[in-house]
Structures are given as structure tokens and as C-alpha cells.
Amino acid sequence: MARLSSSQLQKGSTEYFLSSGDKIRFFFEKGVFDEKGNFLVPPEKSINKIGHALHAHDPIFRSITHSPKVQQPHIGGEVFPHQDASFLYTEPLGRVLGMWIALEDATLENGCLWFIPGSHTSGVSRRMVRAPAGSAPGTSFLGSEPAWDNSLFVPTPVQRGALVLIHGEVVHKSRQNLSEHSRQAYTFHLMEASGTTWSPENWLQPTAELPFPPLYT
């Protein structure tokens, strides 16, 4: 497993992120390091996420991902409104489904998910595309970001062990967790492969070492 160094953190290493699709890498919350790169909070409480190949390299998460059943306290970062299909684009649309498993209770106080009901029928307003190798910045956006009406969002608190299914085009977010309780979750995405084209411009691309694994044939 690789670890994001303080120098990489300060530079906002795009390559570290873009090349993480077939690896297990650590991504930290903002404000957890001092100017010298030392942790201001315990390392285990400073993680924003671990990605992006737990499903392939960790036996526990692999067993969950391939099962036929198929955030941190005080500093948990806000996830701004978005659509997963903006980052995981397919043709046709509507072929990507997010699986969000609550490892702890997700409440209004510690950053549960919020959704705009019915927003999955409005299409995708913008896309993040990967730049050619060696280009800077490594990604860019096509289209404009809508000004989502905050009054339309509905909270979805769930108990530990709950599975939330997230349509690729539904608009969702989570608020910053400033409570005393963490809100850990395990997330992965499924794509219907039959008749679907995974965009070669997506930031996440299968590799020869780790192609997208089929869950059923």
C-alpha cells in the first residue's frame, strides 16, 4: 500500500490520484497536517478515504464486493453536490449504480447522505475528463456546474449495516461532520457491461494488471 506524503499533499498530486485505480492508497482530510507535514490528529482519524482498489487487493473488502448478497469525527470533509456519472461516464447513461454501505450509523449530525428526489431523470450537466498523458492539469470539466437548490435536498439517515443504492445521475451530497462521532462507509460502483461503453475519458481506467472484474457472467 502507498501513502500520500506531505509534499504530495501540498502539491495536490493529481498523478497520485489518477494512478490509484488499481492500488490501495490513502487520501487525507484537509487540515490534518502542520506546516512540517506532521499529523495534528491521530493518523487513523485523519483519513478522508482509502481507494480505489480495496475490492481487488484486500480479502475482506473483496468478499463484500463480490458477495452474492450484494467519515471522520470533527474534521470529516463536506462532499459537495454532484452526480456520480459526471466522473464515471458511460454511453448510454444510466448504467452505473453506486453501492454505499454504512459501517456506522449515518445521522444528520455526522454527515449522512442527502439527495434531490427525481434528479436522476435530468441527465448529466457536466463531466470530468482525463487529459492526455503528461498534460497539466490532469483533468478538466466539460459543461457548467448547476446551482443546485439546497431546499430540494432530502436527508437520508441510516443505521449501521444499511445499503444505499445510488443512481449514477441522482444529485447527492453530504455535509461536513463536526460531531463527536465518525461516519465510516464502504462504497463501490457497478456497471452493466452488456451494451455499455465506458468512456475512455474517465479518470478511472481499467489496466492490464487490474481489469474491471465481472460480478456475474
Average pLDDT, the chain: 84
Confidence of residue 3 (pLDDT cuts 50, 70, 90): very low
- Taking the alpha carbons of 5, 11, 15, 17 in that order, is the dihedral positive or negative? positive
- Edge-to-edge strand list for the sheet holding 113-115: 79-82, 172-174, 113-115, 154-156
On the question of pLDDT at 34 being above 80, the answer is: yes
Residue burial 2-12, b: 16+ Cβ < 10 Å; e: rest:
eeeeeebbeee
**SS3 (DSSP) at 45:** helix
20's enclosing H/E stretch is none
- Cα angle, residue 163 at apex, residues 158 and 164 outer, rounded to 5°: 75
pLDDT per position as a tens digit, 153-208: 999 999 999 999 999 999 999 998 888 888 989 999 999 999 999 999 998 898 88
pTM of the entire predicted model: 0.70
Q: Which domains does the chain have, with CATH numbers?
A: 1-70 (no CATH), 71-206 (2.60.120.620)
**Whose CA is closest to 25, among 14, 16, 15?**
16
